[in-house]
């Protein structure tokens, strides 16, 4: 603060704090990113045990307030980050899609835990195999459930991502996801089937033809 190049007679940079009090020069993009990254308001979408870990992260021992995230927004209209903690069954798929659509731009999504990231151990008829098949995800936090340190590391990664955005020139961050109106999907069906390939113990499960 206060260190600005001034042209002197010898064309050297001089440092004169008293004449430079009360103002700062920076790139506007940096300032916008900096204020965004340090005041991310999360919308907690807690459906399972990961939400308990998230509560521990928000409470005093781990203290999410250090990252400017202590203001949990239980309304999507005032939220920046959708923090999905827990498994999402198919019945909740339209709900989480609607919550994401209600959030103002720019917005980010953290998939906390194995179930939100990939369906986890619930490779069955009822659970969405990763919320990235419904909404775009920025940070995946692995773990079952992740420890608060892991979630905070994911949050810091998201802050890094926000800091690197071209917040002024790049209009893409204000675009809504384009959804196929008939299927309501935003990525091709073949990609979804690829993303949710069977794995683990349930490989030998048989699936009838659609």
Partner 1 sequence: MSVVIPGSALPADTPDPITPRNLSYRGGEANPSVDAMRAQFGATIGRHDVMWGETTVWIDATKVREVVLWLRDDPGQQYDYLVDVTAVEHRDPALPLEMVWHVRSLPYRRFLRLKSALPPDAALEVPSIEPVYKAANWLEREVYDMFGIRFAGHSDLRRILLWDSYAEGFPLRKDFPLRGRFSRSEQLSQALLANPDAKYSMEELSVADAFHELPADMRARLLRDQGGS
Binding site for partner 1 (CB under 8 A): 90-91, 93-95, 97-98, 123-126, 128-129, 133-134, 183-185, 189-190, 192-193, 195-196, 198, 202, 205-208, 210
Nearer to partner 1, 104 or 198 (CB): 198
Gap between the Cα atoms of 86 and 130, Å rounded: 10
Query: What is the secondary structure of 126-151 as a DSSP string?
Result: TB-S-GGGTS--SEEE-SSSPPHHHH
Least Cβ distance, residue 183 to partner 1 (angstroms): 4
Which residues make beta-bridge pairs with 84? 45, 111
Nearer to partner 1, 31 or 177 (CB): 177
Least Cβ distance, residue 205 to partner 1 (angstroms): 5
Is residue 111 within 8 A of residue 131, CB to CB? The reply is yes
Gap between the Cα atoms of 129 and 137, Å rounded: 13
Least Cβ distance, residue 43 to partner 1 (angstroms): 17
Q: Which two tokens stand for residue 114?
A: 């194995």
Nearer to partner 1, 15 or 199 (CB): 199
Please count the other Cβ atoms lying within 10 Å of the Cβ belonging to residue 118. 21
Least Cβ distance, residue 208 to partner 1 (angstroms): 5
Nearer to partner 1, 10 or 201 (CB): 201
Least Cβ distance, residue 134 to partner 1 (angstroms): 7
Nearer to partner 1, 12 or 91 (CB): 91
Gap between the Cα atoms of 89 and 81, Å rounded: 21
């Amino acid at each position: 603060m206060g260190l600005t190049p001034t042209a002197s007679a010898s064309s050297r940079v001089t440092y004169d704090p008293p004449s430079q009090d009360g103002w700062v020069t920076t790139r506007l993009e940096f300032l916008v990113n900096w204020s965004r990254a340090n005041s991310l308001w999360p919308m907690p979408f807690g459906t399972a045990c990961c939400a308990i870990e998230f509560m521990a992260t928000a409470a005093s021992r781990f203290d999410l307030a250090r990252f400017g995230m202590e203001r949990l927004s239980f309304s999507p209209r005032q939220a920046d980050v959708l923090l999905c903690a827990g498994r999402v069954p198919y019945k909740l798929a339209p709900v989480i899609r609607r919550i994401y659509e209600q959030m103002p731009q720019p917005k980010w999504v953290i998939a906390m835990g194995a179930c939100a990231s990939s369906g986890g151990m619930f490779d069955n008829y009822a659970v969405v195999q990763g919320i990235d098949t419904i909404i775009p995800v920025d940070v995946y936090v692995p773990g079952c459930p992740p420890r608060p340190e892991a979630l905070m590391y994911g949050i810091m990664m998201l802050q890094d991502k926000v800091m690197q955005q071209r917040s002024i020139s790049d209009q893409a961050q204000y675009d809504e996801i384009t959804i196929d109106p008939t299927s309501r999907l935003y990525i091709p069906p073949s990609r979804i089937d690829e993303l949710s390939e069977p794995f683990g113990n349930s490989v030998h499960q048989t699936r009838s033809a659609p």
